[in-house]
Structure 1
Amino acid sequence: MQSLKRVWEHLEEGFIAFLLAAMTLVTFVYVALNNIYTLFYTLSDKWAFSSDFFAYLGDHTMGYAQGMTWSVALTKAIFGWLIFFGISYGVRTAGHLGVDALVKRFSKPVQRWLAILACLCCMAYAGLILMASYKWVSALFVAHIGAEDLDKFGIQVAHITVIVPLGFALVFIRYLEILYRIWTHRQTGLGLADEAAEATKLANPGEEHH
């Protein structure tokens, strides 16, 4: 089970890295093309003996840039996937949980029951959004609505929004795992990583050797 968990965590991190790289690459190519063709036109005006060659390059580069109007829509779609897929990753790494400092002022038994209550609330929220978004995406698949500027590639709105129920399903599973760990006295906080402990290690890297 631990090996399977590690494999999933590596796949999760790899997919997030892929989304970031894809979003960066698409944006970079679009911006580069929109700036390069002006350079070719400048060279065309400057060097008369090769003006036709640079004008040719400028025309073709501008054509590619104008044809990449889909890049903005694709970047938005990738960013949406990054957000909803990254929620469960944030839960695992305690990336967006900053309430432990207050909870840790209570005794351990109280911390445990507060964590169980909070975990159940998070699971209820994730479950509600999961069910609602599943119905929404199912209706979009039936409607066959093409995504703006991406429909020419066969991409539908449903293909983009499917990450919403998928992301909240992963969140629900994460909190189910946390609930089990809290119930079995393996942790008291909501994260699968101790945010305070990690911050202390970063601030005092030499302490782990004492």
Structure 2
Amino acid sequence: MSSSYRPKTALGRAVHAFEETVIAALLGLMALVTFTNVVLRYGFNTGLIWGLELTLALFAWLVLFGIAYGFKITMHLGVDAVLNMVSRGTRRVLSLVALGVCLAYALLLMKGAYDYWAPYANLAPTTGRWFPTGFEEMKPWDFRGYTPTERIPMPEILRAPVEFLFLPEGEEPYEKLPVAVPYTMIPVAAALILFRLLEAGWRIVTGRQEWLIASHEAEDAVAEAEAAIRKDG
């Protein structure tokens, strides 16, 4: 995957490697669970009843995490016809306008993501239609932290922290993984998107980046391939 992003510090390289490892791990787990289910189904007439639900959760994590990662490495596609017609200074102004729109959307997304996830984590959603103005006064039956997934069993390695965080007082321990766990990626991804947009904005302001979108990715790939062929030839 080619991009203009190059981490310059040891911490930046470590974070970048971690993010790419997470993406690879999510893809690998999806492939492993699906492959195992196929072998069990057609070879042994059985299967993992929780396989499909887990794969869907992993795919959702991959997409949400990938959106923020795409902003980081400037790989989201967009239309750059107008940007290529104007001067460098005007291009920066237009990029900052686009950034402002994206930041407003990310803030709205962050509020909606938290408000959706909060009851499942035994937390109160925020008040306010567009932007948070406080927290709702929740009644005990409004919280949904005990809501389990349909089929995914509770991994023993996660039992202690999950029950500490999400199990209401006096309730019996979970047999299934609570939906609060996979849903956690919703507000986390929204926060990552907001952070990556702020990062991109700072790079645009300081002149280290020109726009939020990928520029002529296909042409760049063709040019790289032609250069490699000439070098080998």
Paired residue for 1:121?
Answer: 101
User: Which secondary structure does the structure 2 equivalent of 1:100 belong to?
Assistant: coil
Task: Report the counterpart of residue 42 of structure 1 in structure 2.
Answer: none
What residue in structure 1 maps to residue 58 of structure 2? 78
- Write out per-residue CA displacement over residues 70-102 of structure 1, whole angstroms, 9 at most, x where no aligned residue: 000000000000010110111223332222344
Q: Could you say which residue in structure 2 is the equivalent of 1:161?
A: 183
The percent identity for this pair of structures is 34
For residues 119 and 153 of structure 2, what CA distance do their matches in structure 1 show? 18
Q: TM-score, normalised by structure 2?
A: 0.70
Structure 2 counterparts to residues 17-96 of structure 1, below 5 A: 17-37=24-44, 62=45, 65-66=46-47, 68-96=48-76
Stretches of structure 2 lacking an aligned partner (at least 5 in a row): 1-7, 123-143, 156-175
> What TM-score results when the alignment is normalised by the length of structure 1?
0.77
- CA distance in structure 2 between the aligned counterparts of 1:195 and 1:5, rounded to whole angstroms: 26
Question: Are 2:205 and 1:183 equivalent residues in the alignment?
Answer: yes
Contact 2:80 2:215 in 1 (8 A): no
* Partner SS, residue 205 of structure 1: helix
Q: Compute the RMSD of aligned alpha carbons.
A: 2.3
Match of 2:117 in 1: 137
Larger radius of gyration: 1
Query: In the alignment, is residue 148 of structure 1 matched against residue 150 of structure 2?
Result: yes
What whole-Å deviation, never above 9, does each CA across 1:122-148 have from its counterpart, x for those lacking one? Answer: 111111111221122111122121011
Q: Give me the whole-angstrom Cα distance separating, in 2, the residues matched to 1:74 and 1:176.
A: 32
Q: Which has a greater percent of helix?
A: 1
Note if contact 1:27-1:71 (Cα within 8 Å) is conserved in structure 2.
yes
> In 2, are the aligned partners of 1:91 and 1:97 still within 8 Å (CA)?
no
Consecutive unaligned residues of structure 1, counting only runs of 5 or more, are 38-61
Cα distance in 1 for residues equivalent to 2:77 and 2:108: 21
Match of 1:149, SS state, is strand
Aligned residue in 1 for 2:194: 172
Q: What is the CA-CA distance between 1:195 and the residue it aligns to?
A: 5.1
Contact 2:72 2:200 in 1 (8 A): no
Q: For 2:77 and 2:24, how far apart are their aligned partners in 1?
A: 22
SS at match of 1:155: strand
Q: Indicate how the Cα distance of structure 1 residues 88 and 195 shifts in structure 2: closer, same or farther if over 3 A, else same.
A: farther
Aligned partner of residue 148 in structure 2, secondary structure: coil
- SS of match in other structure, 1:131: helix
Report whether the alignment pairs 1:204 with 2:229: no
Q: How many angstroms apart in 2 are the aligned matches of 1:145 and 1:204? A: 55
